[in-house]
């Protein structure tokens, strides 16, 4: 998501179709309404909002958290934890693939040498 905050600072990620034309998208989360200026498709932003609302609702129900600020903090911590675990898992898979590839190359070259 690429967006511009009220102070004009730009932030973003590459998971949506960027139209290049800034749009205002209204958002309501945890009883707070605001608008963001974004180059992304409003449907993409609303999809993210819907996903976040579902996640907030699930965590609130499972952990019995009523306070919106606590709920937002816990939800963000859990999301960051998932991101870090996913990153570590991808790095492990990548290292395993590299090791396997090196072993295959070594085996092939040793075979070529008759060893």
pLDDT score for 53: 96
Classify each residue of 4-13 as buried b or exposed e, where b means 16 or more C-beta atoms within 10 Å of its C-beta: eeeeeeeeee
Question: Is 60 exceeded by the pLDDT of residue 6?
Answer: no
Tokens representing 93 are 């898979």
The pLDDT of 75-81, averaged and rounded, is 94
pLDDT classification of 91: cutoffs 50, 70, 90: confident
Q: How far apart are CA 99 and CA 107, in angstroms?
A: 12
| pLDDT tens per residue, range 43-67 | 999 999 999 999 999 999 999 999 9
| pLDDT at site 32 | 94
Neighbours of 56 (CB within 10 A): 18
State residue 19's pLDDT score. 62
Task: Give φ, ψ of 87 to 5 degrees.
Answer: -65, -45
pTM: 0.61
User: What distances in angstroms separate CA 84 from CA 10, 72, 77, 90, 91, one per listed residue?
Assistant: 24, 18, 11, 10, 11
* Res 101: pLDDT: 82
């Amino acid at each position: 998501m690429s967006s511009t905050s009220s102070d004009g600072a730009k932030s973003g990620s590459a998971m949506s179709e960027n139209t290049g034309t800034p749009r205002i998208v209204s958002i309501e989360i945890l009883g707070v309404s605001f608008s963001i200026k974004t180059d992304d498709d409003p449907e993409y932003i609303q999809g993210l909002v819907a996903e976040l609302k579902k996640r907030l609702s699930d965590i609130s129900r499972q952990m019995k958290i009523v306070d919106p600020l606590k709920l937002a903090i816990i939800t963000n911590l859990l999301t960051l934890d998932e991101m870090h675990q996913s990153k570590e898992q991808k790095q492990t898979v990548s290292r395993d693939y590299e090791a396997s590839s090196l072993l295959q190359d070594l085996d092939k070259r040793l075979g070529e040498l008759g060893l």
